[in-house]
Amino acid sequence: MLKNFLPDQHVKNVFEITPQSLKEKGIKGIITDLDNTLVEWDRADATPELIKWFAEMKKANIKVTIVSNNNERRVKIFSEPHNIPFIFQARKPMGRAFKRALKEMGLQKHETVVIGDQLLTDVLGGNRSGFHTILVVPVASTDGFVTRFNRKVERRILNWFRKRGMLAWED
């Protein structure tokens, strides 16, 4: 059961995920969380570095879809200026939004990765749905109320993995 919380990969930020590294694994699509994965949870716009990352993915024909538990207004304001498809109120870790994103991208699970900053939503949902999961270090050191609770649970799970030698990285 706890293995569903173990990501396949861990990176410091999305910028460590390159089109070349994805292509080498046969990846053609990204399902990514928004808040504290791409930008801080209270930042409305993409950073110049993130805009460049989106452009690199597009140039490499890697599709990106944002799947967020946040409300429509928040996700739309961020996604629309960059012409990035999105799903809001995704109810992660439930699988419906992941399946919808996959269908809209026209890809298979083995061609798609799930990227996120939370074990309890992004990693659990991606793993349960059969995707390769990539955990990123949260962009911001602050969180909303529900996420603060999740982080406490995540620390316990990560400590459990660490004690058993199942983690290949440090916080």
Query: In percent, how much of the chain has pLDDT > 90?
Result: 76
Q: What number is the average pLDDT over the span 36-43?
A: 90
- Determine the Cα–Cα distance for residues 112 and 100; give it in Å rounded to an integer: 13
pLDDT at 171 over 60: no
CATH of domain 2-163: 3.40.50.1000
Q: What integer pLDDT is reported at residue 148 of this predicted model?
A: 76
Q: What phi, psi does 30 have (nearest 5°)?
A: -125, 130
Amino acid identity of residue 34, one-letter, is L
- The domains of the chain are located at 2-163
Closest Cα to residue 120, out of 82, 145, 84, 91?
A: 91
Contact 28, 62 (CB under 8 A): yes
Q: Between 42 and 61, name the one with better pLDDT.
A: 61
pLDDT tens, position by position, 76-93: 999 999 999 999 999 999
Average of per-residue pLDDT across 116-132: 96
Q: List, in order, residues 6 or more apart from 27 with CB less than 8 Å away.
A: 62, 111, 112, 113, 132
